[in-house]
Amino acid sequence: MKKLIFALIIIFAAIQFIPYNVPADIPDKEGEALEIDDSNVAKILERSCYDCHSNHTKFPWYSSVAPISYFTKHHVKEARAKMNFSKWNSYSDEQKKKFLEKIPKAIEAGKMPLPSYLLMHKEAKLSEADKKAISNWASEAGFDLE
């Protein structure tokens, strides 16, 4: 049993030296980032979505500790690849419409923000008023694209 514990400690220490780098804060390219007139909606998205779906991630201290760092940084990398508010204006109008349709559905279904994210980020939990504000914004923004 002592050998097993010692081996696990050695493995845990060793994996700390295997990096998984995902940049936390990448400057937005001029004119690419989403700009929202409604400051309330902007604050909600920043609080609940931007850590994963933008180039402005605030990685907590534990995201530097493997194996948690692998999970966290891989998740952010995937989320940015699926939809990135920092690259919003580089998407076609058709892509934007699809995102604007999916965002409220994912929120209402409880898929976003991810329940695993909410465990450590209670401030990201969306109230019913937050959900309604995002849904209204998405509807209006989608209408503007038609």
- pLDDT tens for residues 94-112? 999 999 999 999 999 999 9
Euclidean distance between CA atoms 121 and 37, whole angstroms: 26
pLDDT for residue 8 is more than 70: yes
Euclidean distance between CA atoms 20 and 36, whole angstroms: 32
What is the pTM (predicted TM-score) of this model?
0.82
Encoded amino acid at 3, one letter: K
Euclidean distance between CA atoms 48 and 121, whole angstroms: 9
- pLDDT tens for residues 52-73? 999 999 988 887 788 888 888 8
Only one residue has tokens 């994912």, namely: 106
Average pLDDT over residues 73-102: 95
Range of the domain at 34: 2-144
- How far, rounded to the nearest angstrom, does the alpha carbon of residue 118 sit from its chain's CA centroid? 11
Number of domains in the chain: 1
- pLDDT tens for residues 10-41? 877 767 777 767 676 777 888 889 988 889 99
CB atoms within 10 A of CB 53: 25
